[in-house]
Amino acid sequence: MLADTINIKQQQQQLHVLFIDSYDSFTYNVVRLIEQQTKISPEVNAVHVTTIHSDTFQSMAQLQPLLPLFDAIVVGPGPGNPNNGAQDMGIISELFENANGILDAVPILGICLGFQAMCLAQGATVCELDTIKHGQVYEMCLKDEARSCGLFSGYPDTFKSTRYHSLHVNAEGVDNLLPLCSTKDENGTLLMSAQIKHKPWFGVQYHPESCCSELGGLLVSNFLKLSFSNNMKTGRWESKKLNRNFSDILSKLDRTIDRDPIYKIKDEYPSGDKTTYVKQFEVSKDPKLTFEICDIIQEPKFVMSSSVISENRGEWSIIALPNSKSKVFSHYGAIKKTTVYNWQDEKVSYSMLKKCLDGQDLDLHGPLTVIKEDESQFWITLGKFMENRIIDNHREIPFIGGLVGILGYEIGQYVSCNRCGDDEDSHIPDAKLVFINNSVVINHKEGKLYCISLDSTFPVTLEQSLTDNFVLKKDIKKKISWPEYLPKEVDFTITMPDKVDYANAFAKCQDYMHKGDSYEMCLTTQTKVVPSSVIEPWRIFQTLVQKNPAPFSSFFEFNDIVPNQGERPPVLCFLSTSPERFLKWDADTCELRPIKGTVRKGPQMDLFEATKILKTPKEFGENLMILDLIRNDLYELVPDVRVEEFMSVEEYATVYQLVSVVKAHGLTSASKKTRYSGMDILKHSLPPGSMTGAPKKITVQLLQDKIETKLNNHVNGGARGVYSGVTGYWSVNSNGDWSVNIRCMYSYNGGASWQLGAGGAITVLSTLDGELEEMYTKLESNLQIFM
Ligand SMILES: C=C(O[C@@H]1C=C(C(=O)O)C=C[C@H]1O)C(=O)O
Ligand SMILES: NC(=O)CC[C@H](N)C(=O)O
């Protein structure tokens, strides 16, 4: 009873906001900005936001009974055109029709799409801009009228804010609208904010939540203050229907994202000291050391190495050694199944695996486990497996053992696997992870090598030969003895993307962006390479890493099934020279490093020139959009997100690129209910925003359904597969690091044919020639070894 009273008392001091999301990628930037505003009034000590989708309710009749629970409504930004009504905006159009004046007294803030919809309902027109602005920062100028209405209280006359819109509001002759703010550009003077007269309804065309917008928090706080004083006046505040079930009702309503962690994080973990073997040696700081070491390891190995060392990146190399105790987790999206078996277990044959994938039931206690998606999701399966293996050991070493492998594009959110439907395709895994007990881990910056084993089974002979060959030898060979070229006697048949098809795909992207459906689309292509005879993947990797040194050079050859006579299991191979980190985490923080903006190196293109180009509106907008999208991905689960580096220019072997760094803090220090591991964040933010564009959901769907399947149908039904996914590890000491699968090649048949993906983000400022060149530059960085 007492607890109930306290609960209701707390609720009474909270301001409750209903946020209506149109499947945008900036939603949680706004939601968190609202929640951060605590100084509303002495009576209010917190702001609570409940988020629903614009199609959560079919009609206002369903939403209406819930309205008294909320002090204000925020209608967020999003893709689509308000003129298309419910088709693009769900309930929002009906909301602003305001039948019988039910919302007359309810404070509303519309942002971008929300603003446009609000104005349209008042009789304004919403039309396409001649010159579209996506991720561009402009100066907003307040009108005198703004001074009296309170929304811009405390603002200077001008301030800078980010714009993401293809459409704009023309409010000429609409008496109901009180213009508050405008901006000027090639389109002329444009309305950037307005109030609906005689109602507590406000709107902004720009994005107050963008990391490049000034005073966004003040705008939201002003709106909340206005809402509070409005509700005090009208009696809405007093009459708010609070009850014991209030929190329950709100949390049931708020189902826009899956907040369940894949496993429950404990307060403490065992040290693992008794079983973990970690031996440290002094070695050369030359990153080529990793490759020299690989040469003496005869056992199967996965390599996540660095061939370029720079600040915060590429300092470590990992050689993971799977053995018969390693569990292999494969996910098959098309048939919604996960398989689990031990690495090279002779009791697991390819024919047995095939039968299982084709739907035949198996003995669940046998060597091969098949888990259907509706029994346990892939991620939950991983969480359950890792839960009891987490230890608090050597946190300063990024990897001491754990899961390593690849998560493909199709395992990401919003991507459908249906089209890889035929038999062969459905046996292609979209994710493959292997649990590693033994590894060699090298810190190139400090010249340290670690032999590590989680179960004290590190191969004695390997440790001996590592000490014999590398320990205390400060100099290693200046030049690695690996072949610079592929064997001359092998020819390659190369099928590239068709230029006309690419031009059509580019035009379609432009059309969607002009219509307001997307702000940025990462259009990608696939190239197929068939060698006249199979070259060992390791041999290709040797040449590749020399031609294209990168901080995330990875080698994976999944020989996890021992072939019986006459069998040819489809061996997934992956060779990568990625420059891009997606996500890195430790127990309490995680870091994302989106790369957006690319310039090819050349005699006339040095760092100075590249920096000039990379800071132009096109590249700036491209990066900012993804930066804001990534903040959103993190904010969905974690409240403390910061941009720690803003658009630095980084140099790579063949290109200069624009890089930003975003971090989330306090993953596990949060209360038990809201604790997450890096793996939750990873699950949540795939596919990487830099490979999709924004807004993520609609852009992924448009690319998949309307554009790329046709463009890339010469390869694997147009699926992106491994490309556009991530590669890395989840270490048992709660560290993780994953790079984006770009500048990579992959084979589903042990090297009989290879695929190379390449693409780039397209914005309204892109040109066909510019994008084609960028795509070819990226493609050539790896394709060159076959030419
Ligand atoms: C799509 C690719 O790269 C992505 C697109 C980039 C861009 O548009 O500038 C840069 C790096 C990657 O995030 C690729 O390399 O294939
Ligand atoms: N960011 C937005 O809300 C954009 C609204 C609308 N789709 C436009 O492009 O103008």
User: Domain ranges in the chain?
Assistant: 16-254, 277-711+721-786
Would you say the CB of residue 553 lies under 6 angstroms from ligand 1?
no
SS3 303: strand
Question: In angstroms, what is the span from residue 247 Cα to ligand 2's centroid?
Answer: 32
Alpha-carbon gap, residue 555 to 321, rounded angstroms: 12
Note whether 382 and 736 are within 8 A (CB): no
Q: Does 581 sit in the ligand 1 pocket, CB within 6 Å?
A: no
Q: Between 330 and 615, where is the model more confident?
A: 330
CA–CA separation, 465 and 575 (whole Å): 26
pTM summary value: 0.95
User: pLDDT digit string (tens) for 700-712?
Assistant: 999 999 999 889 9
Q: What stretches of 299-406 show up as alpha helix (H) in DSSP?
A: 350-357, 378-387
The closest ligand to the CA of 75 turns out to be 2
- How far apart are the CA of 89 and the centre of ligand 2, in A? 11
Distance (Å, rounded) from C-alpha 171 to C-alpha 190?
10
Write the DSSP string, 208-275.
TTSTT-TTHHHHHHHHHHHHHHHHHHHTHHHH----TTHHHHHHHH--SS----SSPPPS-----TTT
SS3 (DSSP) at 435: strand
Separation of alpha carbons 509 and 142, rounded Å: 35
* Better-scored residue on pLDDT, 117 or 418: 117
Rounded distance, CA 134 to CA 77, Å? 13
Q: How confident is the model at residue 365 (pLDDT cuts 50, 70, 90)?
A: low
Q: Is the dihedral of CA 561, 565, 569, 571 positive or negative?
A: positive
Q: How far apart are the C-alpha atoms of 302 and 450, rounded to whole Å?
A: 16
Cβ–ligand 1 contact at 778 (below 6 Å): yes
By alpha-carbon position, which residue is closest to atom 3 of ligand 2?
Answer: 77
Straight-line distance from the first to the last Cα atom of the chain, in angstroms, rounded to the nearest whole number: 77
Interval 176-180 mean pLDDT: 96
Q: Is a pLDDT exceeding 90 seen at residue 652?
A: no
Considering only residues 375 and 68, tell me which one the structure prediction assigns the higher pLDDT: 68
Q: Alpha helix locations (H) across 370-418?
A: 378-387
**Cα of 203 to ligand 2 centre, how many Å?**
13
Flag whether pLDDT at 3 surpasses 80. Answer: no
Task: Work out the mean pLDDT of the chain and round it to a whole number.
Answer: 93
Low-confidence winner among 241-245, 247-251, 293-297, 726-730 (lowest mean pLDDT)? 241-245
- For the annotated catalytic residues, the residue numbers are 112, 207, 209
Q: Are 587 and 661 in contact (CB under 8 A)?
A: no
pLDDT of 263 reads 95
Find the range with the poorest average confidence among 94-103, 232-241, 520-529, 666-675. 666-675
Across 419-436, average pLDDT: 77
DSSP string, 99-141: GGGTTTTS-EEEETHHHHHHHHHTT-EEEEEEEEEEEEEEEEE
Architecture of domain 16-254: 3-Layer(aba) Sandwich (3.40)
Nearest CA to ligand 1 atom 5: 760
d(CA 70, CA 237): 9
From the CA of 518, the nearest ligand is 2
Pocket of ligand 2 (CB under 6 A): 77-80, 112-113, 164-167, 516
| pLDDT value of position 349 | 93
At residue 244, the pLDDT reads 75
Q: Determine the pLDDT at residue 199.
A: 96
User: 452 alpha carbon to ligand 2 midpoint, in Å?
Assistant: 52
Is 419's pLDDT higher than 60?
Answer: no
pLDDT at 169: 98
pLDDT of the residue at 14: 92
Q: Which amino acid is at 617?
A: P
pLDDT, average across residues 682-687: 96
Task: State pLDDT tens for residues 453-462.
Answer: 999 999 999 9
Rg of the Cα atoms in the chain: 28
Rounded average pLDDT over 541-545: 95
pLDDT tops 80 at residue 6: no
pLDDT band of residue 230 (cuts 50, 70, 90) is very high
When pLDDT is cut at 50, 70 and 90, the band that residue 421 belongs to is very low
Q: Is 258 exposed, middle or buried (0-12, 13-18, 19+ CB in 10 A)?
A: middle
**Helix, strand or coil, per DSSP, at residue 585:** strand
pLDDT at 41: 93
Confidence check: pLDDT of 780 > 90: yes
Q: What angle do CA 212, 217, 223 make, to 5 degrees?
A: 130
Nearest 10 degrees: Cα torsion 640, 161, 21, 412: -60
- Indicate the class that CATH gives domain 277-711+721-786: alpha beta
DSSP string over 614-655 = HTSHHHHHHHHHHHHHHHHHHHTT-SEEEEEEEEEEEE-SSE
CA distance 525 to 708: 7
Joined together, the tokens standing for residue 201 give: 């309804």
CA 504 to chain centroid? 27
For the CA of 594, the nearest ligand: 1
- Residue 595's pLDDT band, with cuts at 50, 70 and 90, is confident
What's the confidence (pLDDT) of residue 245?
Answer: 81
Decide: 741 in ligand 1 pocket, CB within 6 A.
Answer: no
Residues 6+ apart with CB under 8 A from 678: 583, 584, 585, 586, 590, 667, 730, 734, 735, 736
d(CA 348, CA 705): 37
Q: How confident is the model at residue 671 (pLDDT cuts 50, 70, 90)?
A: confident
| 24: nearest Cα among 91, 76, 92 | 76
Whether residue 690 has its Cβ less than 6 Å from ligand 1: yes
Distance CA 328, CA 409 (A): 19
Q: Is the pLDDT of residue 361 over 70?
A: no
Give percent above pLDDT 90 in the chain.
79
pLDDT of 364: 61
Given a cut of 90, whether residue 228 has pLDDT beyond it is yes
Q: Burial-class residue 547 by CB neighbours within 10 Å (0-12, 13-18, 19+).
A: middle
**pLDDT, position 674:** 82
Percent of the chain with pLDDT over 70: 96
Neighbours of 705 (CB within 10 A): 12
* Nearest ligand atom owner, CA of 576: 1
Euclidean distance between CA atoms 383 and 377, whole angstroms = 10
Cα–Cα nearest to 68, from 201, 196, 237: 237
> What's the CA-to-centroid distance between 157 and ligand 2, angstroms?
25
Q: Which of 742, 772, 774, 776 to mutate to test the pocket of ligand 1 (most atoms within 8 A of CB)?
A: 742
Q: Is 580 in the pocket of ligand 1 (CB under 6 A)?
A: yes
Spacing, Cα 84 to ligand 2 middle (Å): 13
Query: Do 426 and 334 contact (CB within 8 A), yes or no?
Result: yes
Average pLDDT of span 274-302: 92
**pLDDT confidence of 449, banded at 50, 70, 90?**
very high
